[in-house]
Chain A
Amino acid sequence: MGGGGFTDRSRPPDRAVLTVNLQKIRNFSIIAHIDHGKSTLADRILEITGALSAREMSSQVLDSMALEQERGITIKAASVRLTYRAADGGDYIFNLIDTPGHVDFHYEVSRSLTACEGALLIIDATQGIQAQTLANAYLALEQDLVIIPVINKIDLPSADPDRVITQVEEVLGLGGEECLMVSAKEGVGVAELLEAIVERVPPPQGDPEAPTRALIIDSWFDSYQGAVPLVRVFEGCIRKGDLVKFMSTRSEHQILDVGMFTPHPAELGVLGPGEVGFLTAAIRDVSDTKVGDTVTLTRSPAETPIPGFQEPKAMVFSGLYAADSGDFENLRSALDKLQLNDSAFTFEPETSGALGFGFRCGFLGLLHMDIIRERLEREFDLTLIFTAPTVVYRVVLNDGFVEEIESPARLPDLSRVDHIEEPFILGTILVPSEYVGAIMKLTQEKRGVQRSMEYLDPQTVQLVYELPFSEILFDFYDKLKSITRGYASFDYEHLTFRTSDVVKLDILLNEQPVDAFSTIIHKEKAYYYGRALTGRMRKLIPRQMFEVIIQAAVGNRVIARETIKALRKDVTAKCYGGDITRKRKLLEKQKEGKKRMKNIGTVEVPQEAFMAVLDVGREVS
């Protein structure tokens, strides 16, 4: 366990004393494009340092949640403290700080990197640099981290390390001779990698006597210990028993325990400069332990927090309703529970004329939304209706006031509106050069404006676009994948709001507008979207005992119309003594099915129709 040659941590003294030599600490992250081998390499490192037995190695430890394993991404950082005896005979402490591996979590990645002095940049030798390789490398460079380029999967026959070395030199401006050749899968080159960490990653610095400043790089909820932040100490110390203050929220807590995962949780008693560990303090709420916030001591507080803190900001919103309205309370408690572990996820009650009581939920991005949806359905066994996701629009009113709306239903009366602004992103696409034409076509459809185009090497092109965020909400990823046969990679960061010619499109069922179907959409796309959506709904809404008219309208102007003819015959020809039980059950089933539909006015609408909005977005945009 834990401290290795430094100190016996198993029974910390009342006033724990700092014994760790700063020179022997190495704080680093592994950064990579998805699937380039980050988890595999982390496992290998844990194995070689002896932190885990072979039996424990059976599953990838850092990707602990089942969902993450399935999607192959790490959502929440899970970091470990390892001991490593180097070739020079010294015992080192490695803090391997995990980072979430997806575009939705840029901010979290940047905070994790702040806690490091170095980063292992993994590049798949068969794939070369991808969009997230670049995005992550830039983040690391911004933090002045030492980057160790690691070319992985050299065991594969299709590996082309020379090409990757050239890319590293030309694209990242790093020395080709710095690249390490590794097969994480077979363990080749990992020993050399550990030595390189010792040699190249600088030890942390920091005055143990200065006022304490520690950066929160992650936090999670534990049902016994409450909200638990993971921190990196920059100056001063945090000890068991200390009264600490979280500088952004100003909340104060008494530290019950200080520890770290090795990867088994181990008590440390004290964290000094350069050290990484978790604090337990019976904190009730994860919203008190915000990633990027600074922890200091109440007794002798630091004057300024560590720069760079941002409140988590939801970027994508969607209405969330229980398919069975009786499940409303269950849904609320499920959302409460999810939020305990995920402060980036927001929700507040909303009422829809069509769907009843539900919640307007905010997510960092689409992937984040998918994760939450799956967890709700899987862990809480709820059947849900999600309305079409929307970005935040800034509505500038005639009187100069600005309203930010997260739901099309809240769009103010247009006579009061001067103009509407929508958020734009800066998207980076890396793609083999033969697909450049297809990308240009796609981005044009998506209202993108090219900022730059650059050959990273003769086969790889980097295209940078400004795009309305709303345009990547529906099918951008799917389309990108299909038009490039999976060879394109994409990453984005948020830019600013810009004036845009958007309109609100309403769907009416038998003349009644259905709020859950309303969307805000660019004027030029409204017509096609309206046509596609009404057509799709005609197929999804079953025939009823009367005619159903579906209309799409912008303002008072109807732009598309479909009719579902009245059902005229649904009758069982025969029902005798031996048929009664069976026929009754059939009718009962029919009624059950009906219960699962939503009554909108007199029209019964199946849940799939609400999802159709999503699919149509896919077809149209």
Chain B
Amino acid sequence: MNKGEKHRAPRSIAIYVHIPFCLHKCGYCDFNSYALDTLLEKDHAGQDWAASYTDVVIQEIAGRCANLSLSGRPVESVFFGGGTPSLFPVEETARILDTIRRSFTPSASTEITLEANPGASDVERFAALREAGFNRLSIGVQSFDDETLRRLDRIHTGDDARAAFRSARQAGFSNVSLDLMFGIPFQSPEQAKTDIESALVLAPEHLSAYELTIEPGTHFGALHSRGELAGLPNEETALAMWEMRDRLLSEAGYERYEISNFARPGYCCRHNLNYWKRGEYLGIGAGAHSLIGDRRFWNHARPDVYAKEAKDPAAGEENITNKRKALGESLMLGLRLREGVSLREVSERCGTDPEEKYGELFFNLEKKGLLERSNGNIRLTHRGTLLANRILAEFL
């Protein structure tokens, strides 16, 4: 931020809280999450593990506020992600949210989301969360097909997912998102279609539908690198699934506002939009990342290390003072959005004119039908979206 901005009303900030615990580790998962049973066996007894993690998180909030002069900043969104935050005792979750409320300045319209897994979701719990102030739930369904869920190492069934959704509604959540996955080993296009249709029956406000990514360091990744991960769809089939997804959801009145995200009008996830627009965010908890000013930093990933370093849990950081790098990131993130990027806005934010730097590239991409330009705005075309990595790499 430059000096002139100091006296203006401070820009709002997004806050992310990471709860790195799950009942069990899924085969494809590269999130910073730890199976609770192994954790509990080790050195935690009863509910203390949750209370002590909460204590550390609260300490971190205080420390960050003081060190980064963030106290009182307006908050546009709060997001509890994981891991499985719905597994975390509600009173601890509430304790954290209260601390955030006291330390910053949320408003009545602040979006406050919690990620839930069908396994740990009952009406009482959801009602308590609603009570605590959460107004949005994101449920990790992935699939409604039990066989497919087993292949993903998920420990819930399709019916559990439906039940979780109903519980959310019963508890009073009027903004619920479902996470789906496709391109799963041995998943047929028909089955992928059934999954989407099953989700549509529930009529959530928001849907994320991701193609499965094989990440290094996961169980799937290990299998894949040994050539032992069978049943992955070929490019043709995967593309058909993308098309099917886009068609069904758009017919059902959901707008694809990001590569893998769909929403009914007015229900885009504001927390995630902030990432893609490269707004500032503070990440609290083990392994959480933050972007404050031109500084990006991240915490120690392992909860025990994180807890020991609670005063300053940053494990690493990079300074993105380089205007070109900031611009590259802005385009890399912004072009994920269907609305694309306003060149003027980016130019102001990064202090460098994208047109000057990439005018020729824009022109060439446009000529190839990968990029569209209108009124000082650029965005990827349908074909461009499917080749996003190739295109976005050009801006880095």
Contacts and interface: CB of A to CB of B under 8 A. Distances in A.
A597 to B, nearest CB: 13
Contact of A587 (B238, B298, B332, B383): B332
A568 B388 CA distance: 10
Contacts, number: 94
Contacts of A594: 393
A415 interface: no
Contacts of B275: 575-577, 580
A587 B272 CA distance: 21
A572 B275 CA distance: 15
Contact of B336 (A570, A575, A577, A584): A575
A569 B329 contact: no
A545 interface: yes
Nearest to A578: B289
Interface in A581-611: 581, 583-584, 587-588, 590-591, 594
Contacts of A66: none
Interface residues of B, number: 44
Q: Categorize the interface residue count of chain A.
A: 20 to 34
B135 to A, nearest CB: 20
Contact of A584 (B16, B288, B332, B368): B332
B245 to A, nearest CB: 11
A545 B387 contact: yes
Question: Among B272, B385, B389, which residue has the most Cβ atoms of chain A within 10 A?
Answer: B389
B386 A571 contact: yes
Given A545-B370, A580-B329, A587-B396, A574 B260 contact: yes
A356 to B, nearest CB: 20
A577 B287 CA distance: 11
Contacts of A575: 259, 275-276, 333, 336
Nearest to A589: B393
Interface in B255-304: 259-260, 272, 275-276, 281, 283, 287-291, 296, 298
Contacts of A590: 389-390, 393
B213 A573 contact: yes
B74 interface: no
Contact of B296 (A571, A581, A583): A581
Contacts of A587: 332, 389, 392-393, 396
A587 B318 CA distance: 17
B235 A573 contact: no
B211 interface: yes
B173 interface: no
A160 B388 CA distance: 70
A87 interface: no
A468 to B, nearest CB: 43
B394 interface: yes
Question: Among B238, B296, B393, which residue has the most Cβ atoms of chain A within 10 A?
Answer: B393
B49 interface: no
A577 B235 contact: no
A569 B370 contact: no
Interface string B198-214: 00000000000011110
A569 B281 contact: no
A578 B387 CA distance: 22
A502 B42 CA distance: 76
A569 B260 contact: no
Given A545-B370, A580-B296, 14 more contacts: A567-B390, A570-B388, A573-B212, A573-B213, A577-B275, A577-B283, A581-B298, A584-B328, A584-B332, A584-B396, A587-B392, A588-B396, A590-B390, A591-B394
26 contacts: A545-B390, A567-B390, A568-B235, A568-B387, A569-B235, A569-B239, A570-B390, A571-B259, A571-B385, A572-B259, A572-B388, A573-B259, A575-B259, A575-B336, A577-B283, A578-B283, A580-B296, A584-B329, A587-B392, A587-B393, A587-B396, A588-B393, A590-B390, A591-B393, A591-B394, A591-B396
Interface of B: 14, 16, 32, 210-213, 235, 238-239, 242, 259-260, 272, 275-276, 281, 283, 287-291, 296, 298, 318, 328-329, 332-333, 336, 368, 370, 383, 385-390, 392-394, 396
State the 10 A-B residue pairs at the shortest beta-carbon distance, nearest first. Answer: A573-B210, A587-B393, A578-B289, A571-B388, A591-B393, A570-B389, A590-B393, A577-B275, A569-B386, A573-B211
